[in-house]
Structure 1
């Protein structure tokens, strides 16, 4: 209620319906909150009935003729044959490989894309795709609708997703979430640093080494992320 000097000219309906010359409101924080909310709603709605699924991560720069790409195809195929949907970031490289393996095996191939300042788009092997503006919303979907992670060799984006998952498991925000690093040669230096620096200097506990597994075997990787699901 407003009286006397607090009475405002016009009404809320009028301000809503009148044509506005400026579109600055599109870039304000209140509108961003609505966009963030809509992305969560869209993601939840699209993935809620997905069923058992595993998220597979890896570099968008993985060459199609590389051993890493072939490993991604085999991992996607084996997961699909085990009855799991395969979720990736939907891009090229290792993500495409896992989607391709799932699709060729008759499984459900899911891609969760991200808006980037350069063209990427969803790869052609994605059956169900959702694009996001915000990394943090996308990462929530990766964890919420997957029972585990398989992490192929990758760069900063892959490391971001890996360490977010490790932090969630370490802090018991998720109670059971197997994480497999595929490629002992690639991940060996990181594991050595965790052991020789983080743990040695008391920044992590020795038990934290049990939060993940490292392997070069596709069947072992799939068994580790799908057991007891």
Structure 2
């Protein structure tokens, strides 16, 4: 009978961690994710691997046979996949856009994974479905590890907002201001308002002039249509000119794979399941959510965030701020419904409607007090 484990299971996600644990001679009960262990055969042959789980790790046949015989559970790599379902870390822009400059967007891991998703999502194959679920769970775990203890503020808004638009510039300034206030900006990770907020977070460590110059560079490729390659290359050019920008998080999805991930989120949690992505984003916004003008997707997000506030299912309600009075009261009258829903409930003290992104930081501080 398996021994009960006490406390959090040790996850090993890098060779440095693997070598550190190896010094103690035991991997018993550990979770080892996505590592090439072909150069560590001797370590695996002499170490205790009882109840260890190896997820997608490469091993020499001798080591593989030994750890299995010693009581480890091994999930081998799956050949032919354009992604690692067992990954122990989030994506970086450079990873998703690898080979862009050489072979174009169609050859990037992002595009290849979207193609795989299109080919398998409707085929009813339980293996494909399982691999997508394992991947999304691994990414969720990595996201939790990254955001533990951080004040996360979500910035939601339409994907159609073009670079060069005044509203895009405003969303970028908002992301910069929130990051400079010590918060971690999280977005849906795509183009439009999402990219603008991640760009602003990236610009936070630099002087104010940098953002203006970056916006001018990006405006030359205002949309990801007709060329994702040109759109992404403009962002990567900005990153190369100003390396080591501020961190932020993006949560895009291959469910909407025709919308590419933006390159300004330092940490990208890309999911196959859009429902996992949506709830995963909003549930982690512990410091509040800002809603810029948007359409159906943004409206859905308003009420996805309002529901746990209403029921207090995640504890104290978090601030929800809608930006642009005319948009949210006349064009899409979400605000009156949100007000009515929150009447006589604690969440009523945590919602606000403002006219401009410049009002958001002060309002967020007020609602959080």
User: Same fold, TM exceeding 0.5?
Assistant: yes
> Which of 1 and 2 has higher RCO (CA within 8 Å, sep 6+)?
1
Q: 1:82 to 1:192 in 2, by over 3 A?
A: closer
Please say if residues 153 and 184 of structure 2, whose CA atoms lie closer than 8 Å, have aligned partners that are also in contact.
yes
Q: Provide, for residues 126-183 of structure 1, a one-character-per-residue CA deviation record: whole Å limited to 9, x for no partner.
A: 1111101122322333234321001001122111111110111011113130000011
For residue 260 of structure 2, give the secondary structure of its aligned residue in structure 1.
coil
Could you tell me which of 175, 179, 186 is aligned with 1:76? 175
Counting only pairs closer than 5 Å after superposition, residues 1-229 of structure 1 correspond to structure 2 as 24-27=125-128, 34=134, 37-48=137-148, 51-106=150-205, 107-146=246-285, 147-174=287-314, 175-189=316-330, 190-191=333-334, 193-194=336-337, 199=340, 204=341, 206-207=343-344, 210=348, 211-227=350-366, 228=368
TM-score normalized with structure 1 length:
0.75
Q: How big is the alpha-carbon RMSD for the aligned residues of Structure 1 and Structure 2?
A: 2.8
CA distance in 2, matches of 1:214, 1:169: 16
CA distance in 2, matches of 1:88, 1:66: 19
Mark the runs of 5 or more structure 1 residues left unpaired by the alignment. Answer: 1-15, 18-22
Q: Provide, for residues 164-223 of structure 1, a one-character-per-residue CA deviation record: whole Å limited to 9, x for no partner.
A: 10111011113130000011111112146528xx94xxxx46346835211023343112
Mark the runs of 5 or more structure 2 residues left unpaired by the alignment. Answer: 1-74, 77-123, 206-245
Select between 66-75 and 136-145 the one with higher mean Cα deviation: 136-145
Q: Provide, for residues 57-92 of structure 1, a one-character-per-residue CA deviation record: whole Å limited to 9, x for no partner.
A: 000101222222122011101101111111111111
Q: 1:142 to 1:33 in 2, by over 3 A?
A: closer
Number of aligned positions between the proteins: 201
Please say if residues 87 and 109 of structure 1, whose CA atoms lie closer than 8 Å, have aligned partners that are also in contact.
yes
Please say if residues 56 and 98 of structure 1, whose CA atoms lie closer than 8 Å, have aligned partners that are also in contact.
yes
CA distance in 1, matches of 2:335, 2:252: 32
Alignment correspondent of 2:20 = none
Deviation at 1:48, TM superposition (A): 2.9
TM-score normalized with structure 2 length:
0.49
